[in-house]
Amino acid sequence: WSDLAEKGAQLAAVCDVDAAKARAAGETFRVPYYLDAAKMLEAERLDVADIVTRHDTHRPLAEMALARGLATIVQKPFASTWEDCIAIVEAAQKANAWLAVHENFRFQAPMRAVRKVIDSGAIGTPSWARIRFRTGFDVYKTQPYFYDEEQLAIADVGIHMLDLSRFFLGEVEHISCETQKRNPRIRAEDTATMLLRHQ
Ligand SMILES: NC(=O)c1ccc[n+]([C@@H]2O[C@H](COP(=O)([O-])OP(=O)(O)OC[C@H]3O[C@@H](n4cnc5c(N)ncnc54)[C@H](O)[C@@H]3O)[C@@H](O)[C@H]2O)c1
């Protein structure tokens, strides 16, 4: 949000239930900080709520922001269950408020460049694609909660791949998937091979 200051964005306040993190963010960005989202929404005059907690808190926090009519951005994965996803969308419709999932991969410069090539017609209408994401980066170090997640590869990075495939090739009408768990220390899948048929 600091990077967007030139375009008129102004970070108004931050919130985290972890007091040390809330204070650190407040001091770093020189804005009021809160430990309770409800109190922040009560005390501050906000236009946008950017919800960057993990999926299990997305629904209550999004409903709280949307009930106040705030434009609301929710990090991926959008919510923990399909029912929660629907509830958030309905809350936005009821409040007539703008709602977005923070799906950032399609906005990255290399991905936009790929889309530009497709749009230029240089390769004709794409009829087949392989989109792959593998990394040696130690995700368990930066996100240790991954060990206990009930859903992992698809919910974390897989959804970025699914969104990219929609961005490049259009909507999907059929999907099948095989998952594997290679790391014995985790609960969920760490590999997903998905086959998509696009409209
Ligand atoms: N789009 C991307 O590229 C990308 C990259 C990394 C993470 N993410 C997503 O961002 C989200 C957060 O991931 P993370 O690794 O930063 O998690 P994290 O657990 O490190 O951070 C979440 C923070 O939310 C705080 N929190 C929890 N409940 C709260 C509440 N009710 N009110 C206020 N604060 C609360 C926690 O104290 C914690 O500081 C996840 O959904 C993750 O998938 C997206």
**Which positions of the chain have pLDDT values less than 50?**
none
pLDDT of residue 129: 95
End-to-end CA distance of the chain: 36
pLDDT of residue 6: 95
Q: Is 40 in the pocket of ligand 1 (CB under 6 A)?
A: no
Cα 11 from Cα 30, distance rounded (Å)? 9
Q: Is 104 in the pocket of ligand 1 (CB under 6 A)?
A: yes
pLDDT of residue 2: 86
Which domains are delineated in the chain?
5-102 (3.40.50.720), 105-198 (no CATH)
Residue 54 CA, ligand 1 centroid: distance in Å:
4
pLDDT of residue 40: 98
pLDDT of residue 135: 87
